[in-house]
Amino acid sequence: MRSNDGWIKTTCAYCGVGCGLEARTKLSGELEIRGDKSHPSNYGKLCTKGIALGDTVIHDGRLLAPTDNRAPEAIELSWDSATQIIADKFSQLIEKHGPDSVAFYVSGQLLTEDYYVANKLCKGFIGTANIDSNSRLCMASSVVGHRRAFGSDTVPICYEDIEEAELVILVGSNLAWCHPVLFQRLRSAKQNNPSKRVIVIDPRQTESCDIADQHLALKSGSDVALFNGLLSYIAGNDYIDEAFVSNTTNHAEQALDSAQQEEDVALVTGLSETQLQRFYHDFATTEKVVTIYSQGVNQSTTGSDKVNSIINGHLAQGKLGKVGTGPFSVTGQPNAMGGREVGALANTLASHMEFDNPEHLAIVKNFWRSENLALRPGLKAVDMFDAMAQGKIKAIWIMATNPMVSLPDSDKIRKALHTCEFVVVSDCIADTETTRMADIVLPAQGWSEKSGTVTNSERRISRQRRVLPSPGMAKPDWWIVSQVAQKMGFGHAFNYLHEGEIFREHAALSVEGNLNGERDFSLIGLTDLDDQDYNQLLPQQWPVTALQSQVVNQRLFSDQRFYTPNHKANFIAVRHSLPQSATSEAYPLLLNSGRTRDQWHTMSRTGLSARLAEHKSQPYVQIHPQTADQYGVRDGQLVEVRSTYGLCQVRAEVTRDVQPDHLFIPIHWNNITAKGAKPCELIAPSTDQVSGQPEFKHTPVNLQPCQYQSTALFTSRHVINFDDCDYWARQKIEHGYLYHIESKRSVSELALELKQRLIYQHGRVFSMESGAGGIRYHYMTVKNDKVFQGLYVQPSMTEDDIEWMVNNFNQEISEAMAGIDNHVHSTVKRLSSKTMS
Ligand code: SF4
């Protein structure tokens, strides 16, 4: 799929929108990126993260070789010996303690082919279902909601429905930042059709509210009460689609009874009767309604019930299976949907088949020719790490994810990995908090190097293609897993030579026992792809009955037939209940967490882009002005946020976007990019009882300002350890890094301390102390007549100071010196230049 002028079609590495893009290498070696105008998910549009993908393919910090970290000095391994060590250790532990003593923790960043092979090895040949994905943190509650309502994990709609809808409701979704291209499609559709309405349901005022006709800033965790109120309103005002409900659904009465018992929805949600009536009337009287929901719904101890409360409203009026209407769970990760398709969650089998169905077990067992198929669900993510901490899981293989940063209660995850006898981590980045815990680390290919498929939120399968060669010894994840499987004695089932073979097998499994549409997920039209077809595969939206050579936009359930035993959809009776954690005198504030616009997950990739770092350069907490006043916090000041689990140090952003007594911290920063700024240190490991998805949106905390006396900016070509400082955060800039530092020490003490970190071997050092009493210290080291390092220390920094330091870095020294004159207006006490040896 390389065009004559060198463009290769592939897909974005980040969110579940799954934008198609084109990449080509410039003569300079840089990777050029542009949107793929022919891709039906984005039609050429990309967001800031997608556009900046070319910045992130640099090899800074790449993991280049398999390494054994068990000895005091890490030992580089060949692939043969690394995979042999893993195969031997897993086999020994399985023989001694049984298959449930090992586990896999995988990721929505994996390609479907990688996911398929890992799931096949774990469930089909090792014989345990202890494989779970970090998608557990993202959309497990939606999977439960879909399966309970539809009998299958089916996203019924396609993106086109967002454009076709007359009313789009965003629930717990900051689409503008988390799924920006979908938001762009929604915004354009609204501009083209002024009668189209948007309602945002979110405790926070987010950028998504910019196009909202109504913003319902409900109380945290009260969604079920809100949507039960909707169901009662629909029933009480004769808006029920009686024909649809009686012919096509089960348990409507029970759900309605439950909804009607919901007391005082206004009080529970904190919304006025007028707001509620307007929302309910709008929903009930509009034919085409799409309800988009995301982490604000899923990441909750009542996430599954929230999902079903939304679906109940759609079922009551038959609002699904038709153009422009339906509930829509948008996924966070690029291939969360692919993971669901192959079954790489601990409680699903494979290819949308289930453990509790003997027919499904027989189909998978026969298809894989497995003697040892796992027959029951395994441990979900949080339970898996609990079992590890208790010594029950003795070996884990973590692929393409960073649980030390992303799972709640980081301290417990640290202890679990310490307790675990054998930890294997495959990643493309060398230094993450999780690779630091590994016995064996394996270099996996990264985006732009790997090849396979991903499925986006609208069930569209797209090729992710190889664009660049892999550095060092990096290999595809499917290849690494297959090598280990072969050495464990399962070679006959894992002798794949190409990712296309794996895809064909995955497609063939989707057809087994499914010739009459018994299951939703079918790739029957893709089972005969040869290697060339696979290489040239255009985006395909499942179910794929025949190879799609044109764009297809299809909805499921248009035949009003569901995948339950009687083919009717299920209403689920749900009731509002309070989140598991409540505020108290000691922890009176509520912490919410989520994404910023320009960073992704734990920043291991987006953190490499200087332009992405400009949007939010340091970890921060949003605080309402009233709360800031109450706690004596100034805008821009560092604060400490504490929960019963730990503490987090972040910079205050005082804003009315959050409610009084509510805080919001982004999830991205961690101990690699800042000191003590990881929100997962604060978050309780409370989960939804059905989905196992942790609560990330409702943590009781308290707050206090940090009392620091001095600040510093340090620019460097290389990563430097500042852990002995009270606070530091690292920002990628052109040609290097900018460190933001704060300290309890005086300005002169901090200057003296940081001066030791300057590398003087590179020629000259310029130093300057200015202002009355030496309140500013500025140093530059120079290499090849350019600023090699810069250090600036003073009581506090302004945006101008930061910009000046960034601009100075890597500049010709003569220009940098001129800049000093312009920047520093105070009296220059001393300016000296020494030649260092
Ligand atoms: Fe990538 Fe998502 Fe942005 Fe599209 S919207 S370019 S998939 S991050």
CA of 157 to the centre of ligand 1 (A): 19
Calculate how far, in angstroms, residue 9's C-alpha sits from the geometric centre of ligand 1: 15
- Give the model's pLDDT for residue 611: 84
CB of 304 closer than 8 Å to CB of 380: no
Write down the pLDDT at residue 403: 94
pLDDT tier for residue 814 given thresholds of 50, 70 and 90: confident
272 closest CA partner among 213, 335, 219, 196:
219
Q: Is residue 300 over pLDDT 70? A: yes
Its sign, for the CA torsion 243, 245, 247, 253, is negative
Dist. CA 181 → ligand 1 center (Å): 6
Specify the 3-state DSSP secondary structure of 400: coil
| Arithmetic mean of pLDDT, 804-820 | 82
Identify which of 41, 138, 181 to mutate to test ligand 1's pocket (most ligand atoms within 8 A of the CB): 181
Q: Could you tell me what percent of the chain has a pLDDT over 90?
A: 78
| Residue among 170, 199, 526 at smallest CA distance from 341 | 526
pLDDT of residue 765: 65
**Mean pLDDT along residues 140-152:** 95
The pLDDT, as a whole number, for residue 196 is: 98
C-alpha closest to that of 468 among 77, 83, 179, 62: 62
If phi > 0 it is left, if psi is from -120 to 50 it is alpha, else beta; for residue 351 that is left
Which residues contact residue 44 at a Cβ distance below 8 angstroms, ignoring those fewer than 6 apart? 34, 35, 36, 37
Ligand 1 atom closest to Cα of 12? 1
Per DSSP, the residues of 67-80 read EE-SSSS-EE--HH
Q: What is the four-CA torsion angle of 713, 716, 721, 722, rounded to 10 degrees?
A: -10
Band (pLDDT 50/70/90 cuts) for residue 762 is low
> What tokens appear for 463 in the block?
């090729």
User: What pLDDT does 608 receive?
Assistant: 81
**763: pLDDT strictly greater than 60:** no
Pairing of the two strands 620-623 and 662-666: antiparallel
Q: Any idea which of 147-156, 606-615, 651-660 has the lowest mean pLDDT?
A: 606-615
Residue 784 pLDDT: 84
The stretch 617-635 carries a mean pLDDT of 95
The C-alpha atoms of residue 136 and residue 344 are separated, in whole angstroms, by: 10
Q: What is the mean pLDDT of residues 66-89?
A: 96
Q: Hey, what are 601's tokens?
A: 């997950």
Please give the Cα distance from 194 to 146 (Å, whole number).
32
- Among the listed ranges 23-27, 59-63, 206-210, 366-370, which one has the minimum average pLDDT value? 59-63
Ligand 1 pocket test target in 34, 46, 183 with most atoms within 8 Å of CB: 46
Question: Which residue among 10, 11, 17 has the greatest number of ligand 1 atoms within 8 angstroms of its CB, and so is best to mutate?
Answer: 17
**Rounded percentage of the chain residues whose pLDDT exceeds 70:** 96
pLDDT band at 393 (very low <50, low <70, confident <90, very high): very high
Q: Is 789 helix (H, G, I), strand (E, B) or coil?
A: strand
Q: Do residues 12 and 18 touch, judged by C-beta distance below 8 A?
A: yes
β-strands 736-743, 569-570 pairing: unpaired
Task: Name all residues whose Cβ lies below 6 A of ligand 1.
Answer: 12, 14-15, 17-19, 42, 46-47, 49-50, 179-181
Question: Measured in angstroms, how far is the CA atom of residue 48 from the centroid of ligand 1?
Answer: 8
By most ligand atoms within 8 Å of CB, the mutation choice from 22, 34, 49 for ligand 1 is 49
**φ, ψ at 227 (rounded to 5°):** -80, -25
Q: What is the pLDDT of residues 238-288, one digit of tens each?
A: 999 999 999 999 999 999 999 999 989 999 999 999 999 999 999 999 999
Determine the pLDDT at residue 835: 46
543 preceded by a cis bond (ω within 30 of 0): yes
Q: Above 60 in pLDDT, residue 826?
A: no
pLDDT (tens digit, 9 = 90+) per residue, 529-584? Answer: 999 999 999 999 999 999 999 999 999 999 999 999 999 999 999 999 988 888 99
Residue-averaged pLDDT of the chain: 92
User: Cβ atoms within 10 A of the Cβ of 474, count?
Assistant: 23
**DSSP structural state of residue 680:** G
Rounded average pLDDT over 306-318: 98
Contact of 498 with 97, CB cutoff 8 Å? no
The Cα–Cα gap between 449 and 468 comes to: 5
Among 213-217, 310-314, 442-446, 672-676, the range scoring the smallest mean pLDDT is 672-676
Angle at the Cα of 676 (from 671 to 682), degrees rounded to 5? 110
Instruction: Give the separation between CA 405 and CA 600, rounded to whole angstroms.
Output: 13
Q: Which of 559, 591, 539 is nearest to 696 (CA)?
A: 591
Expressed in angstroms and rounded, the spacing between residue 332 Cα and the centre of ligand 1 is 10
Q: Whose CA is nearest to atom 2 of ligand 1?
A: 15
What does the pLDDT read at residue 837?
33
Residue 771's pLDDT band, with cuts at 50, 70 and 90, is low
CA 177 to ligand 1 centroid distance, Å: 10
Concatenated DSSP letters for 282-349? HHHH-S-EEEEE-HHHHSSTTHHHHHHHHHHHHHHTT-SSBTTBEEEE--SSTTHHHHHHHT-STT--
Query: pLDDT digits over 179-226, tens only?
Result: 999 999 999 999 999 999 999 999 999 999 999 999 999 999 999 999
The whole-number pLDDT of residue 830 equals: 38
Predicted local confidence at residue 764, as pLDDT: 63
Contact (CB, 8 A) for 472 and 62: yes
pLDDT attached to residue 783: 85
Q: What is the pTM of this model?
A: 0.92
Beta carbons of 320 and 156 less than 8 angstroms apart: yes
Expressed in angstroms and rounded, the spacing between residue 644 Cα and the centre of ligand 1 is: 36
pLDDT grade for 822, boundaries at 50, 70 and 90: low
Asked if residue 449 has pLDDT above 70, the reply is: yes
Q: What is the pLDDT of residue 243?
A: 96
The ligand 1 atom nearest the CA atom of 41: 4
* 690-747 pLDDT, tens digit each: 999 988 889 999 999 999 999 999 999 989 999 999 999 999 999 999 999 999 999 9
What is the whole-number distance in angstroms between the Cα of residue 17 and the centre of ligand 1? 6
